[in-house]
Structure 1
Amino acid sequence: MRLFLDIDGVMVHANPYKKVDMGEDGFYKFNANAIDVINSIDDLEIILSTSHRFRFDIQEWKNIFQRRNIKFKEISIMNLKLDSKFSRREEIEKWINDNKIDPDDLIIIDDDKSLNGLPDNLKRRLILTDPYIGLNNAALQNLQLRNR
């Protein structure tokens, strides 16, 4: 399963009134609930769609995810240049189309409301998180119910 993954508002809260804890490696500690949800997805290929995606090279991202006990088969970066002209929806949709990814083989986890504008075949694969909470089991169950 391919997973387009955001970090802020997904793996960590994006509540401006609460501090985000940092790991010893200088990057955010991920929420335990978010880690559990990610680890519940089998045969996982993570595609980083986060704005942090160019902060580290692939090997360091792998190290970060391994140190946080996240199970994955592969990690890659959605290597479209960050451009304020494009919304997250446009970035992800372009990446899916350019790489001919089957919508049934992907999940998108993000807190960006522009993703509500995805076409129905992609929107049904979207877990839109509450940025103040981040990813939790209820969000994953909502996706499973939509895809029955």
Structure 2
Amino acid sequence: MLILLDIDGVMVPGTSWRQPEFLSDGFPAFSFKAVKALERIINETGARIILTTSHKTKYDSSHWNEIFRNRDIHINHIDRLPSDSSKLSRKDEILNWYYSNNHSEAFVILDDDKYLNDLPEDIKHHLVLTSSSLGLTDELAEEAIAKLTHDALTH
């Protein structure tokens, strides 16, 4: 099982009135609620993370593992979508990933990008859209778990 994970607006809710707190690794702190929700998805499904965030190429995999560890999210490995060197939209990056991979694994897309609503229906039903000001919540974690476990049963 896979989680295609955005960071801003999912793990780091955006608020116009407050700057995010940065940790010693130079990256913003994740919301406590988002951390608990992501942990729940991982613990209940065993899903692995593929970063879709625009920050994905700023750090290598070991640094990303450290960033997640510093925020009390313990995962063995983080993958990233290929670099957006051709400046593709998130939607197009996800479409490229989807059409260039064998999808025998269940996956869910956790993102706040409303343009992802324009994904084709067979991909869009994997989307759990967050509110950029709230981020990932326990209710959305339930939705993600339901999508992953349903997809796992149908694969």
CA gap of 1:82–1:109, structure 2 versus 1, over 3 A, is farther
CA gap of 1:52–1:143, structure 2 versus 1, over 3 A, is same
Residue 94 (structure 2) pairs with residue 92 (structure 1): yes
Q: What is aligned with 1:108?
A: 109
Deviation at 1:82, TM superposition (A): 4.0
What CA distance in whole angstroms lies between the structure 2 residues aligned with 1:34 and 1:51?
18
Gaps of 5+ in 1: none
Q: Deviations over 1:93-136 (max 9, x none)?
A: 1112212224x610100100111011222212111110011111
CA gap of 1:12–1:120, structure 2 versus 1, over 3 A, is same
What CA distance in whole angstroms lies between the structure 2 residues aligned with 1:45 and 1:125?
15
1:74 alignment partner AA? H
Q: Deviations over 1:9-39 (max 9, x none)?
A: 0001122222211112111111111111111
Structure 1 length as normaliser, TM-score? Answer: 0.88
Gaps of 5+ in 2: 151-155
1:7 alignment partner AA? I
Q: What is aligned with 1:122?
A: 123
The structure in which a higher percent of residues are helix is 2
CA gap of 1:146–1:61, structure 2 versus 1, over 3 A, is closer
What CA distance in whole angstroms lies between the structure 1 residues aligned with 2:147 and 2:101?
25
Alpha carbons 2:112, 2:131 under 8 Å: kept:
yes
1:23 alignment partner AA? L
Runs of 4+ with deviation above 3 angstroms: 142-148
1:49 alignment partner AA? T
Q: What is aligned with 1:26?
A: 26
The Cα RMSD (Å) is: 1.9
Q: What is aligned with 2:15?
A: 15
Secondary structure of the equivalent of 1:96?
helix
What CA distance in whole angstroms lies between the structure 1 residues aligned with 2:111 and 2:85?
16
Alpha carbons 2:40, 2:141 under 8 Å: kept:
no
Deviation at 1:144, TM superposition (A): 5.1
Q: Deviations over 1:15-66 (max 9, x none)?
A: 2222211112111111111111111123221111000001111110011111
2:100 alignment partner AA? D
CA gap of 1:47–1:37, structure 2 versus 1, over 3 A, is same
